[in-house]
């Protein structure tokens, strides 16, 4: 059963520290999304990639967030420096991006708490 | 700006009731509309709709899309407590690699 793997599952860090979240998309999927979910804002799109190329990262605070895909099996989202308002669940999702009927698959998320 | 709006925000029903959830959208270059169910963890995929008027069905869940009026509905019949979840609607936009934008979700609570 193919799945999207995210690490770590939980992260508690102090304000000002660097945080790196990792995502392993499903093998063969060429589209990867990063979302942030909070009670107030719901699911917000931060960035997404197609064939490892960044297509849109306008949802990210550029001064502190960065997203990369160093290879087809790894996507990373980095926050430096972290702030308490970054506390949220960060989801990665992958798919084929061709309108095939099964949509996009989400990972289990990284729950980030910045204190 | 692309918009996806879901209603109601939340609802409470009793087992056996039928639930209808709404999703309206205003986007450029529409490609598809997707429904997800989110319980405690990650959203899980329910349906993808691309054509108007064709109902997609899975057990007690069904969904249909109206591309003229720009909305979709998700129906759940004979609800069970296991249907309690947040239901999310997302629109896939046919531009620069199919951007996926979510609505705010509808929280459904099914009481025994």
Between CA B76 and CA B20 the distance in angstroms is 7
Chain A interface, best mutation among B49, B72, B99, B102, by max A CB count within 10 A: B99
- The pLDDT tens digits for A27-63 are 999 899 999 999 888 899 999 998 999 988 888 988 9
Domain membership of residue A23 (yes or no) is yes
- A96 interfacial to chain B (CB closer than 8 Å): no
Q: How far is CA A68 from CA A23, A80, A90, A97, B91, in A?
A: 10, 14, 15, 18, 24
**What mean pLDDT is reported for chain A?**
92
Predicted local confidence at residue B1, as pLDDT: 81
Q: Which of A103, A107, A109 sits opposite B45 (nearest CB)?
A: A103
Report the share of chain B in percent with pLDDT over 90. 82
SS3 at position B77: coil
Helix-, strand-, coil-residue percentages of chain B, each rounded to 5: 5, 60, 40
Report, as an integer, the average pLDDT of B83-111: 90
Contacts of A103 in chain B (CB under 8 A): 34, 36, 45, 48
- A59 interfacial to chain B (CB closer than 8 Å): no
Between CA B32 and CA B58 the distance in angstroms is 18
pLDDT beyond 90 at B26: yes
Q: Which of B31, B42, B50 sits opposite A106 (nearest CB)?
A: B42
Domain membership of residue A25 (yes or no) is yes
| Dihedral sign computed on CA atoms, order B92, B97, B101, B107 | positive
- The nearest CA of chain B is from the CA of A75 a distance in Å of 16
Band (B100; pLDDT cuts 50, 70, 90): confident
- A90 interfacial to chain B (CB closer than 8 Å): no
Exposed / middle / buried, residue A36 (Cβ in 10 Å: 0-12, 13-18, 19+): buried
Q: Tokens representing B62?
A: 């069904």
Predicted local confidence at residue B97, as pLDDT: 66
Report, as an integer, the average pLDDT of A81-86: 96
Predicted local confidence at residue A100, as pLDDT: 57
What CATH number is attached to the domain comprising A50?
A: 2.60.40.10
Q: Tokens representing A37?
A: 């979910």
Return the higher-pLDDT residue of A101 and A2: A2
- B45 interfacial to chain A (CB closer than 8 Å): yes
Report, as an integer, the average pLDDT of B74-100: 90
Report, as an integer, the average pLDDT of B36-48: 92
pLDDT beyond 80 at B95: no
Report, as an integer, the average pLDDT of A91-112: 84
CB A108 within 8 A of CB A6: yes
CB A91 within 8 A of CB A4: no
Band (B64; pLDDT cuts 50, 70, 90): very high
- Architecture of the CATH domain B3-111: Sandwich (2.60)
CB A107 within 8 A of CB A4: yes
- B97 interfacial to chain A (CB closer than 8 Å): yes
Band (B44; pLDDT cuts 50, 70, 90): very high
For A41, the domain range is 5-98
Report the share of chain B in percent with pLDDT over 70. 98
Q: Three-state SS string across A39-104, please? A: CCCEEEEEEEEECCEEEECCCCCCCCEEEEEEECCEEEEEECCCCHHHCEEEEEEEECCCCCCCCC
- The pLDDT tens digits for A14-30 are 999 999 999 999 999 98
Q: Tokens representing B81?
A: 């407590």
Report, as an integer, the average pLDDT of B62-87: 97
- The nearest CA of chain A is from the CA of B91 a distance in Å of 11
Buried b (16+ CB within 10 A) or exposed e, A96-105: ebeeeeebbb
The number of folded domains in chain A is: 1
């Amino acid at each position: 059963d193919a799945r999207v793997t995210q690490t770590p599952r939980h992260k508690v860090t102090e304000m000002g520290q660097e945080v790196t979240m990792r995502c392993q998309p499903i093998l063969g999927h060429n589209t990867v999304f990063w979302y942030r979910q909070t009670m107030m804002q719901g699911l917000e799109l931060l960035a997404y990639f197609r064939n490892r190329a960044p297509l849109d990262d306008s949802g990210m605070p550029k001064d502190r967030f960065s997203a990369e895909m160093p290879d087809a099996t790894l996507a990373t989202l980095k926050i430096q420096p972290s702030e308490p308002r970054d506390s949220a669940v960060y989801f990665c999702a992958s798919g084929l991006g061709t309108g095939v009927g099964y949509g996009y698959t989400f990972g289990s998320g990284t729950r980030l708490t910045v204190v | 700006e692309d918009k996806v709006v879901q209603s109601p925000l939340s609802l409470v029903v009793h087992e056996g009731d039928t639930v209808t959830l709404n999703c309206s959208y205003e986007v450029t270059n529409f490609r598809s509309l997707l429904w997800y169910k989110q319980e405690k963890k990650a959203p899980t995929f329910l349906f993808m709709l691309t054509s108007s008027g064709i109902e997609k069905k899975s057990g007690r869940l069904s969904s249909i899309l109206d591309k003229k009026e720009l909305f979709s509905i998700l129906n759940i019949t004979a609800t069970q407590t296991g249907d309690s979840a947040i239901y999310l609607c997302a629109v896939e936009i046919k531009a620069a690699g199919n951007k996926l934008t979510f609505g705010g979700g509808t929280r459904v609570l099914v009481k025994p």
